[in-house]
Amino acid sequence: MASLSAEPANGEWLRVDFRERRGELELDVSFASSARSVVLFGPSGAGKTSVLRAIAGLDIPSDGNIFLLGEDLARKSPQSRRVGFVMQQPSLFPHMTVAQNVAFGARAHSQSILEEFQINHLAHRLPAKLSGGERQRVALVRALAAKPRALLLDEPFSAMDAATKEQTMHQLDAWLLDNPTPVLFVTHDIAEVFSRKAEVILLDRGRVRGQGAAEIVLAEQRLTLLSRLNSPQV
């Protein structure tokens, strides 16, 4: 991919251009997007989670910059970035009930969002008493309750059964209609890429290999990608 100009263009909500070494992986990630829904797709170990962590401010790249909604994030703490980050392993606070987890950092009425996502029956349970799928739903709702400026979702449905996943995706889409928020969604599930109907950024071995509509990007990269999708992590 060609390197980006330093400043974000009109309409862009996200501009990422950084280099960083993460163990064996040399990340050199460069992309910009004005699509409100973006899927970051690639095999395990491609660097997808690292990109999300850098945007959230949890890792600081050694070189480069990230612009979110036109704002340079270089000197912004994770607290002041106001992004909603749902990690692959939902890190719910184990000593708090579901209601307390959702209320933590909430800028919206947490009870109503629990009802919106039909998990109010879990409100008084501790995370240890939830299934993997329920934990992911609570983590998603907790992130949304904080009214983020942008959403970073790292395989947020991976532990859900098919029916719950579909239901939660519909609920998320409905929430996004009411609360327009740009989303960067990470997955290595090809079915999810097509179901999101979003712009696709293909990441492989720490580099962006393609960007655009799913059909076009994935067709171009199909042969090389399929051979790597189930390979061990880099």
CB of 104 to other proteins, least distance (A): 6
Residues in touch with other proteins (CB under 8 A) = 56-58, 77-79, 81-85, 87, 89, 91, 93-95, 104-105, 126, 128, 142-143, 146
Taking the least distance from each CB to other proteins, the nearer of 95 and 109 is: 95
Taking the least distance from each CB to other proteins, the nearer of 98 and 146 is: 146
Taking the least distance from each CB to other proteins, the nearer of 37 and 91 is: 91
Amino acid at 224: T
Burial class (CB in 10 A: 0-12, 13-18, 19+), 109: exposed
Taking the least distance from each CB to other proteins, the nearer of 1 and 58 is: 58
CB of 130 to other proteins, least distance (A): 14
CB of 170 to other proteins, least distance (A): 25
Strands 150-154 and 183-187: parallel
Which DSSP category does 232 fall into? P
Taking the least distance from each CB to other proteins, the nearer of 81 and 209 is: 81
Say which residues have a Cβ less than 8 Å from residue 178's Cβ, sequence separation at least 6.
Answer: none
- The span from the CA of 59 to the CA of 57, in Å, is 5
CB of 20 to other proteins, least distance (A): 17
Q: Is 81 left (phi over 0), alpha (psi -120 to 50) or beta?
A: alpha
Q: How many CB atoms lie within 10 A of CB 47?
A: 24
CB of 98 to other proteins, least distance (A): 14
Tokens of 152: 């970073």
CB of 117 to other proteins, least distance (A): 17
Taking the least distance from each CB to other proteins, the nearer of 85 and 210 is: 85
Amino acid at 129: K
Most distant CA atoms of the chain, gap in Å: 51
Q: Which of 226, 219, 218 is nearest to 201 (CA)?
A: 218
Contact 217, 200 (CB under 8 A): yes
